[in-house]
Amino acid sequence: MEELSHYLDGALVKGTSGRFADVYNPATGEVQAKCPLASADEVAKAVDIAAAAQPAWAATNPQRRARVMMEFVRLLNRDMDKLAEALSREHGKTIPDAKGDVQRGLEVVEYCIGAPQMLKGEYTDSAGPGIDMYSMKQPLGVTAGITPFNFPAMIPMWMFAPAVVCGNAFILKPSERDPSVPLMLAALMEEAGLPKGILQVVNGDKEAVDALLDHPVVQSIGFVGSTPIAEYIYGRGCSNGKRVQCFGGAKNHMIVMPDADMDQAADALVGAGYGAAGERCMAISVAVPVGDETADRLIEKLVPRIEKLKVGPYTAGDDVDYGPVVTSAAKQNILGLIQSGIDQGAELVVDGRDFSLQGYEDGFFVGPHLFDRVTPDMDIYKKEIFGPVLSTVRAGSYEEAIKLAMDHEYGNGTAIFTRDGDAARDFANRINIGMVGVNVPIPVPLAYHTFGGWKKSVFGDLNQHGPDAFKFYTRTKTVTSRWPSGIKEGGEFNFKAMD
């Protein structure tokens, strides 16, 4: 069995803690690799290496740093097939979906090529008599990020590309479920010209995360994952004086108005609800048809589409719509929530519980499920299921529908399907959710905008990628200079307005 490594100071390095996590092939259920779980000492070593390498990298001019990103984009395209295969093998998602995972990360790397422009400061000539004022955006130093299993290429790139192009060193602690692609990305960054020690990968679990949170040299922590861990990391990181941004779980509602194109809405729901086996933080997990007649028409359109979904291993190629979920524990959790939905009175319209795939009986496959007549007090409504399960909550009116989405504790994404511009506009304006789609089910903003939810889907203020990433990974220093004349004309001792 393969023993995976860390990536430290430009080399693959075996773990020394003696602790490992199993990495599965979710399609077969077999353990295919062992992932080392770093000790606090191993983390401290990575921090020392990063701290030693970072000043020279920060002193490298921004254009040269951007050129590393340019070359990295070329290498990502060169190795796209290899990366997608490694990603699917550990995560389970289909190959086209795995390529999408790499692609949406790559687009943020492309955005980072604009770093020389983004890092320009502001300048005020003659802010006072003989006085100029300017600001600089300086890197933080050693930064770190902790990422989830569901986008093992995209989310690490969303963090390390802006961190590194701003002149920081970055330590990535990826998910221990699928660590191979992050290791490959670190090696590719070095091939692209990044100096050793600037991007390192430390594999691990809570012990490694806590070591990063408590290390005084680490200046910032980025986190993406489930809400309880996001809350924990935000609290501990902030109380240690770090800059922290944490993105958590989701329960994304799609409102379907009576005037919506019902075929379009049903197609959108099937893709957004079941794609990647529902393991996306922007998956639609709640459909909210407005009015019983809308609900009946929607369900009628959804059922045949869901029953046609092809579930299988990524190796089956284009013949598969979605693959297995990530672990047996994830599968058991999803099945447990489905049972709770039945017990609490929801109507299971499409029942995928007896799904089984010949030759893959030990794989972590979950058939598609559709619930109707779900109510807000049920666990399947309150909790993030993170599986191929779509819940329908019937709303009596538009006001009731918008209130449902607004009252839910999560606020990552949402969508409205309608032909009425006024309803769409009202929805976009009033809703207390960070990313909104109008006839678009998964409104993931592009690289040059920013990504982030509201409410319990986020802890911190700045969003991911776009201009916010350059703010998160730099700090501003403002210089007031009187030059060349000044002291020689006599000192000033009062704190004065510059007029």
DSSP assignment of 33-76 equals EEEE---HHHHHHHHHHHHHHHHHHHTS-HHHHHHHHHHHHHHH
Nearer to ligand NAD, 214 or 261 (CB): 214
CB atoms under 10 Å from CB of 73, counted, come to: 17
Beta-sheet pairing, 6-8 with 389-392: unpaired
Q: Which residue's CB comes closest to ligand NAD? A: 225
Which residues 334-353 are close enough to bind ligand NAD by CB under 6 A?
Answer: none
Neighbours of 168 (CB within 10 A): 26
Minimum CB distance to ligand NAD smaller for 247 or for 365: 247
Q: Does 226 contact ligand NAD by CB under 6 A? A: yes
State which amino acid sits at residue 180.
Answer: S
Q: Which stretch binds ligand NAD (CB under 6 A): 95-103, 106-114, 219-227, 391-399?
A: 219-227
The mark string for 257-296 relative to ligand NAD (x by CB under 6 A, - otherwise) is ------------------------x---------------
101 binds ligand NAD (CB under 6 A): no
Q: Which stretch binds ligand NAD (CB under 6 A): 203-211, 293-301, 305-313, 414-422?
A: 203-211
One character per residue 158-187, x = contact with ligand NAD (rule: CB under 6 A): ---------------x-xx-----------
DSSP state of 368: -
Query: In the complex with ligand NAD, which residue's Cβ is closer, 443 or 453?
Result: 453
Q: Pick one of 247, 360, 364, 473: the residue that binds ligand NAD (CB under 6 A).
A: 247
Q: Is 166 a catalytic residue?
A: no
* 277: DSSP letter: G
The string over 426-437, giving b where at least 16 C-beta atoms fall within 10 Å of a residue's C-beta and e elsewhere, is: ebeeebebbbbb
Chain-centre distance for alpha carbon 196: 26
Nearest to 224 by CA among 441, 57, 465, 429: 465
Q: How far apart are the first and last CA of the chain?
A: 73
Q: Toward ligand NAD, which CB reaches closer, 146 or 299?
A: 146
* Overall residue count recorded for the chain in this entry: 499
Under the binding rule (CB under 6 A), the answer on residue 103 touching ligand NAD is: no
# residues near ligand NAD by CB under 6 A: 26
- 18 φ/ψ sector (left φ>0, alpha ψ -120 to 50, else beta): left
Which 394-423 residues touch ligand NAD, going by CB under 6 A? 412
> Residue 301: in which H helix or E strand, if any?
helix 292-307
Pick the stretch among 243-251, 256-264, 352-360, 394-402 that binds ligand NAD (CB under 6 A).
243-251
Active-site residue (options: 35, 166, 246, 281): 281
Is the separation of the CB atoms in 6 and 38 below 8 Å? yes
Which active-site residues does the annotation give? 281
User: Which residues form the interface with ligand NAD (CB under 6 A)?
Assistant: 146-151, 173, 175-176, 205-206, 209, 224-226, 229, 247-250, 281, 384, 386, 412, 453, 457
